[in-house]
Amino acid sequence: MKRISVFLLCIVTVIGLLAAGCGSADNKPAQSAQADTAADIKAIKDRGVLKVGVKVDVPKFGFKDPQTNKIDGLEIDIARAVAKKILGDPTKIDVQGVTAKTRGPLLDNGEVDLVIATFTITEERKQSYNFSDPYFKDGVAMMVKKSSGIEAVKDMNGKKIGVAQSATSRKALQEEADKAGVKVQFLEFGTYPEIKTALDSGRIDVFSVDGSILAGYLDDSTTILKDRFAPQEYGVASKKSNAALAKAVNEVIADMKKNGELDKLVQKWGIK
């Protein structure tokens, strides 16, 4: 009888030890998220290239030159800095054009490792993605035809506002319209060239998005109104589970801020 209970005790102890072993194995990803060998970083290293979603229709931030087909801008330079840190080579980036609507889903399905695409950090978006500390701060602005006579939100009663799908602009402008007591109507578009075309053709009266995005669409017939609202801080986004990658990106942004590299790039691209 005694022998049996000793035997049972041994079995229980062995099972206990095994369970404890499994427990620590389960904790491993969290621990190694600190290290360079974390699964998310390793996958990028094994692939040898960092996949980044960038804008292709935002001059100076992420823009595809129709002549050369080359995509360039501040956000591509930031992508290069991250590639340099992770892969030791700033040229090892594979950029893909995204819009406000497609950037989240492309992160979700792993098509891109990072989104560096005028992506405003919001509490709601932080529930779904990791965001780095901000690398740029902007505000929502409005572009109108000079001939429209519109000078501020108070002049927009009954007007049509063009905004990008899934952008922060609509909510921000609606709040301003409510404050000013004016009724506006929104039309949503996929890309910025489409919104500018709609403004030129008179389909909409106002083109609203961040001031720095609008600046790329300014021409002789249009003006950007003075008002700015709803601060927009841009962050580099990654999939929530890619904690080590998010940490590495944040280190790059922090370094670039500290050593003046970020300021230099903003100047290089003539961003105001």
Burial class (CB in 10 A: 0-12, 13-18, 19+), 180: middle
Among positive and negative, which fits the CA dihedral 99, 101, 106, 108? positive
**Segment interacting with ligand GLU, rule: CB under 6 A, options 11-19, 41-49, 67-75, 164-172:** 164-172
Query: Which residue in 164, 199, 214, 236 binds ligand GLU (CB under 6 A)?
Result: 164
Q: Segment 97-126, which members bind ligand GLU (CB under 6 A)? A: 100, 118-120
Answer yes or no: are the C-beta atoms of 256 and 85 closer than 8 Å.
no
Least distance between ligand GLU and beta carbon 166 (Å): 7
Total residues at interface with ligand GLU (CB under 6 A): 11
Our CB check for ligand GLU shows the closer of 77 and 138 to be 138
User: Looking at 75-178, which runs of residues are DSSP E strands?
Assistant: 93-97, 114-116, 129-131, 136-145, 160-164
Angle between helices 261-268 and 74-87 (to 10 degrees): 140
Query: Which residue in 167, 199, 214, 246 binds ligand GLU (CB under 6 A)?
Result: 167
Burial letters 12-33, b for 16+ CB under 10 A, else e: eeeeeeeeeeeeeeeeeeeebb
Judged by CB under 6 A, does residue 93 bind ligand GLU? no
Least distance between ligand GLU and beta carbon 140 (Å): 8
Helix (H) or strand (E) holding 252: helix 243-258
Query: Which residue in 208, 232, 238, 242 binds ligand GLU (CB under 6 A)?
Result: 232
Q: Tell me the C-alpha to C-alpha distance, in Å, between residue 41 and each of 27, 243, 263.
A: 18, 9, 27
Least distance between ligand GLU and beta carbon 265 (Å): 18
Judged by CB under 6 A, does residue 50 bind ligand GLU? no
Judged by CB under 6 A, does residue 141 bind ligand GLU? no
Judged by CB under 6 A, does residue 61 bind ligand GLU? no
Least distance between ligand GLU and beta carbon 114 (Å): 15
Our CB check for ligand GLU shows the closer of 54 and 209 to be 209
Judged by CB under 6 A, does residue 189 bind ligand GLU? no
Judged by CB under 6 A, does residue 215 bind ligand GLU? no
**Segment interacting with ligand GLU, rule: CB under 6 A, options 3-11, 35-43, 71-79, 167-175:** 167-175
Judged by CB under 6 A, does residue 209 bind ligand GLU? yes
Helix-strand-coil percent breakdown of the chain, rounded to 5?
45, 20, 35
Judged by CB under 6 A, does residue 33 bind ligand GLU? no
Answer yes or no: are the C-beta atoms of 272 and 138 closer than 8 Å.
no
Can you give the binding site for ligand GLU, defined by CB under 6 A? 100, 118-120, 164, 167-169, 209-210, 232
